[in-house]
Amino acid sequence: MNKYPHLFQPGRIGTVEVKNRIVMAPMGTIGPLVDYDGTFSDRAITYYERRAKGETGLIITGLSLVDSKIEPWETDGVNTSITFDSLWKVPNFLQLTERVHDFGAKIFVQLSAGWGRVFPGTLAEHLARKGARFVAASSGPLFWRPDILARELTTDEVDELVRAFGNAAMIAKQSRFDGIELHGHEGYLMDQFTTALWNKRTDKYGGDLMGRMQFILSIIKAIQETAGGDFPIIYRYGLEHKIAGGRTIDEGIEIARILDKAGVAGFHVDAGCYENWYWPHPPEYQPPGCMVDMAALVKPHVGVPVITVGRLGYPDLANRVLEEGKADFVALGRPLLADPDFAAKARKGEEKGIRPCIGCHECFARLRARLSLSCAVNPQCGDEERLTVRPAAARKKVMVIGGGIAGMEAARVCALRGHDVALYERSDRLGGTLHVAGRADFKQDIARLLVYQVGRLEQSSNIRIRLMTDVTPDAIKSENPDVVFVATGSAPLCEADIRGLGDARWVTPDDVYRDNLPDGKTACIVGGGSVGCETALYLAKQGWSVVLVEMLDTVAADLFDANRLMLLVLLKQYGVKLLTRSKVREAGASFVLVDTPGGEKRFATDLLILCTGRQPVNGLGQAVREHVKEVYVIGDSVAPRKIKDAVWEAYKLAITV
């Protein structure tokens, strides 16, 4: 029997039967995934096809525009988004739908009216210099660029957008898409029309709730008239915005009732908006299934399927949500970036073989940088053809020194290519800093990544693992490898310009996560990067009183916005005192003196924690080159960086060996 029967039961959305209950949530399709003319690039088509091959039941594309003229989306004559505005694009769209359908998956296109008040900041600046005028439901500043004012759309322009949706639906149907999802969440243009906080209009598209819903209702009617009443429409929206003046749960339920009567075939329910980005884009600090309750609240009030979303990349949890009747489908976004075979592996009961999303949002950081969508732990994502793992032309003897994330990835990929791999690790276990990085309850996906990586190595017949082994130049000479990867990692910096540091009880973050701590209840953390902030939260959740001191004017600046915003909320919730533009000047056995903008302050402190960075450990680099021609230094051995950097570096080099 299938281990997850509810997850792999067929379901229906309107007239469309879906082979299982796994939906690929829409994610940004920009940069190299978009051709200059607003069509899907070959890379984009392969990207979606790969998720269909992995047995995903329903794929929803990233947002596509219905019009690129009213809102200034073209830059220098080049489209920056997929646009469903011309029939001549149908042959391109048919390539996508045919290749997805080949694997038994269904595919809906997500259609959007545009960004409105949340128009991307960097692109807005570029277009503003060229004289572009930005639009919104009502006049107001852009969220990312409050110095730029958006004008209110005219009634005629809104009418034109409605007609554009009808035209886009006709194009989608001719392109053999199975249905449409309307992009009505997160504070984008459609969401702005439905929300009193952002819609101050006095025409037929404003006023009370029914007035504010006229834009959406008109769009639905236009789609039904051009594509037919049996062409399914899913509406994606946040049940509540979780901000003052935004949508409440009661209003969100009333919206569902209105749209159910209007003939939508399903609802895709989340929460939040850009003001609290950690809701619609939940980071690792959010608990698994963080928005299931939103879908569960909608479900009793409608007669059509409800899709839930939000950190559901755990087969047992996803199956339980369906079993308990809290939703009819589960949508996965980033988990399908990390592992396109999520569904296939879950169906076979191979959940330990699922490469986990670690909630870091490196994928969205790339989108912000106008790069293609990809994944920190899966470099092949979004570039499947170029970065595929192919058999090596000649079998080589590969020696990997260091069993952290970079070393494990290099060993894994080299073994997949057919090389004979020996992996040496000086400690008694593989994983390196993943063991400390995944210790906190809010970083358990790092621990899952460790289990995944070790499992792949242990299952490979091409890898010999040597633990508790120090590698010396003589050992390298004796091994006589063709290729060496040096992945000896990094160590905490244990220096700080603090008077009296020798008298204080101080430790590193590694000591904290290994529970190598003296007794105490008050701590001062030096350094407010992500490591310092997460260490502060870890201690505060255990009952410590924590002061964090950072010399810069902000903390956790190395994190993506959604992650940083939520971490700040949690630090406040657990009472961590943040001192920015400050410096620990002196420390003693039971105190610290801190220079702050308001003058010197003294804090009683049982423990000082130096979160001042790490330094590479690479004593073997030059010695290896004396014996081996093909040598690669990777990961933190080069410079301490993020998991993404270690994985990508190891992967991209290993596929060339």
Counting residues of the chain whose pLDDT is more than 70, the rounded percentage is: 99
Confidence of residue 495 (pLDDT cuts 50, 70, 90): confident
Counting residues of the chain whose pLDDT is more than 90, the rounded percentage is: 88
Token pair recorded at residue 275: 């003001």
pLDDT > 70? residue 75:
no
Domain 397-491+616-654 superfamily per CATH: NAD(P)-binding Rossmann-like Domain (3.40.50.720)
pTM: 0.96
Specify the domain boundaries for CATH 3.50.50.60 within the chain: 501-612
What's the chain's Rg over C-alpha atoms?
26
Q: What pairing do the DSSP bridges indicate for beta strands 545-549 and 179-183? A: unpaired
Confidence of residue 76 (pLDDT cuts 50, 70, 90): low
Token pair recorded at residue 469: 């082994």
Alpha-carbon span 646 to 404, nearest angstrom: 9
Candidate from 120-124, 264-268, 358-362, 574-578 with smallest mean pLDDT: 120-124
Residues 6 or more apart whose Cβ sits within 8 Å of residue 386: none
**Model confidence pLDDT, tens digit, residues 504-514:** 999 999 999 99
pLDDT > 90? residue 494:
no
Confidence of residue 78 (pLDDT cuts 50, 70, 90): low
What's the CATH class of domain 24-310?
Answer: alpha beta
On whether the CB atoms of residues 510 and 494 are closer than 8 A, the answer is no
**501-612 has CATH 3.40.190.10 classification:** no
Token pair recorded at residue 583: 């410096």
Of the candidates 584, 525, 514, 575, the residue with the CA atom closest to the CA atom of residue 555: 525
DSSP 206: -
Q: How many other CB atoms are there within 10 angstroms of residue 582's CB atom?
A: 21
Q: What pairing do the DSSP bridges indicate for beta strands 583-587 and 577-579? A: unpaired
Average model confidence (pLDDT) across the chain: 95
How large is the average pLDDT for residues 159-175? 98
Specify the domain boundaries for CATH 3.40.50.720 within the chain: 397-491+616-654
Confidence of residue 517 (pLDDT cuts 50, 70, 90): confident
Confidence of residue 332 (pLDDT cuts 50, 70, 90): very high
pLDDT > 80? residue 1:
no
CA distances from 556 to 391, 528, 579, 641 (A): 41, 6, 13, 14
* Choice among 4, 47, 188, 205 that is catalytic: 188
Candidate from 74-88, 103-117, 259-273 with smallest mean pLDDT: 74-88
- More confident call, 367 vs 465: 465
Alpha-carbon span 542 to 561, nearest angstrom: 26
Of the candidates 489, 484, 490, 488, the residue with the CA atom closest to the CA atom of residue 422: 484
Specify the domain boundaries for CATH 3.20.20.70 within the chain: 24-310
pLDDT > 80? residue 579:
yes
Token pair recorded at residue 540: 């505060």
Check if 188 is active-site: yes
CA distances from 33 to 44, 182, 281, 389 (A): 5, 21, 21, 21
The residue type found at 549 is V
How large is the average pLDDT for residues 262-278? 97
Residues 6 or more apart whose Cβ sits within 8 Å of residue 613: 492, 493, 527, 529, 640
**Model confidence pLDDT, tens digit, residues 79-103:** 678 999 999 999 999 999 999 999 9
266, 268, 269, 270: CA torsion to nearest 10: -170
Alpha-carbon span 440 to 534, nearest angstrom: 9
pLDDT for 77 equals 62
Return the residue matching tokens 């904290």: 512
How large is the average pLDDT for residues 138-146? 96
On whether the CB atoms of residues 213 and 204 are closer than 8 A, the answer is no
Candidate from 3-7, 148-152, 514-518 with smallest mean pLDDT: 514-518
Neighbour-count burial of 470, counting CB atoms closer than 10 A to its CB (0-12 exposed, 13-18 middle, 19+ buried): exposed
